[in-house]
Amino acid sequence: MHDVIRLLRAHRSIRRFQQRPVPPELVEELVRAGQAASTSSFIQACTLIQVNDPADRERLAEYAGGQSCVATAPLFLVFCADMQRHRLACDMNGVEMLSGYTEQFITATVDCALLAQNLMVAAEAVGLGGVYIGGIRNRIAAVAELLALPELVYPVFGMCLGWPDQDPEIKPRLPLEVVLKQDRYDDSGDRGRIAGYDRVVEQYYANRLGSDKRTTWSRQMAGMLEKEARPHMLPFLRERGFLLK
């Protein structure tokens, strides 16, 4: 197996870290690796905010639903979808920017995800570990206020990074046949495949050290999707100048 593929296949989220700092030069190297990702129409619409102040970290941990790793990780980054600098670019060229398009929201959000995942892989390549923190969207308006985010900028997710202080098992993924289709969408065999995968996930949780979680993938999804999903997101994004047309 190719080294890069082996690295990708070895990914698991890390939530406990050694109290050893990530040197600033390494942070810069990781961000450069993130920036090297493909970017829709060259828009480069992601801004990262490195949050250093312990009091700010505590507040973000609380906003994220009490996720202590946000406060304790040596490095915490917030990935923001950012169309503000494009307004500047238009202004520099005497053009008034037409903003608020759903297309712009998609491209800026995708840009953040691509940069972040490149950064995560680069971090894992040098022995760091990390976890995305979508939990910051629980209190997205408070996060935006804390970070002084202007209009046309929104926090997509955070990321904790550091030297791992745990060695969790790799979480099994869906069978390939469920995610890779040939020529047309055909999910006729997927009910059975997902039932088989449920048993695999159940075993994974049963064997996981220090966890008494007993569930399956489909049960987890059903439990999540019978509830509302952060209904405050749409009004927040519109107020920030996204998703208006």
Long-range contacts of 223-227 (CB under 8 A, 24+ apart): none
Decide: is 217 part of the binding site for ligand FMN (CB under 6 A).
Answer: no
Decide: is 109 part of the binding site for ligand FMN (CB under 6 A).
Answer: no
Among 157, 197, 217, 242, binds ligand FMN (CB under 6 A): 157
Where in 129-148 is the site for ligand FMN (CB under 6 A)? Answer: 131-135
CA distance 242 to 233: 11
For residue 79, give the H/E element and its range: strand 75-82
Contact 160, 17 (CB under 8 A): yes
Distances (CA, A) of 116 to 67, 87, 158, 203, 205: 20, 23, 9, 30, 27
Nearest residue to ligand FMN by CB is: 134
Q: Positive or negative, the Cα torsion across 1, 206, 219, 114?
A: negative
Q: For residues 45 and 99, which CB has a smaller minimum distance to ligand FMN in the complex?
A: 45
Which of these ranges, 9-17, 184-192, 225-233, 235-243, lies near ligand FMN under the rule CB under 6 A? 9-17
Where in 29-68 is the site for ligand FMN (CB under 6 A)? Answer: 64, 67
Among 9, 171, 181, 199, binds ligand FMN (CB under 6 A): 171
* Binding residues vs ligand FMN (CB under 6 A): 11-13, 15, 64, 67, 131-135, 157, 171
